[in-house]
């Protein structure tokens, strides 16, 4: 079930996207784990490993799911405090999401609205 999440590189889909309401494999895997607490508990060790070694989108998916599982993701946010790899987060719908840097996306997952001072070419979220 984690393979589609682990394969995600720069795009996180949290709902159906686009005019056709596309449901990506990563979204389906994320939604399954988000809704199934038992499966999520079983996947926690793999999610912790993915959070440390994954591509930006995989790290965001892992952070969201670890937070859902009740884990404190503050250490994860701190680890990537200056990571400027791009990732987009589509919460569902037809519009294209703005690009985040991984450091910003993880703060968003943590509940903060923050923009890196050097990422000023994009309006604040």
- The 10s digit of each residue's pLDDT in 5-33 is 999 999 999 887 776 777 889 999 999 99
- The domain of 31 spans 3-109
Domain count along the chain: 1
Residues with Cβ within 8 Å of 118's Cβ and at least 6 positions away in sequence, in order, are 84
pTM over 0.75: yes
Residue 117 pLDDT: 57
Residue 116 forms part of a structural domain: no
46-60 residue pLDDT tens: 999 999 999 999 999
Residue 47 forms part of a structural domain: yes
Residue 121 forms part of a structural domain: no
| Among the listed residues 30, 70, 76, the one whose alpha carbon sits nearest the alpha carbon of residue 53 | 76
65-95 residue pLDDT tens: 999 999 999 998 899 998 999 998 888 777 6
- pLDDT category, 125, cuts 50, 70, 90? very low
Residue 125 forms part of a structural domain: no
């Amino acid at each position: 079930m984690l393979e589609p999440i682990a394969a995600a590189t720069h795009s996180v889909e949290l709902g159906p996207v686009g005019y056709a309401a596309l449901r990506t494999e990563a979204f389906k895997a994320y939604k399954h784990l988000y809704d199934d607490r038992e499966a999520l508990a079983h996947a926690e060790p793999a999610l912790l490993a993915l959070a440390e070694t994954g591509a930006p989108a995989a790290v965001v998916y892992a952070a969201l799911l670890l937070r859902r599982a009740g884990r404190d993701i503050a250490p994860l946010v701190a680890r990537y405090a200056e990571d400027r790899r791009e990732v987009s987060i589509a919460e569902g719908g037809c519009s294209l999401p703005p690009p985040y840097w991984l450091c910003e996306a993880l703060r968003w997952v943590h509940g903060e609205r923050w923009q890196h001072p050097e990422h000023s070419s994009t309006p604040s979220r």
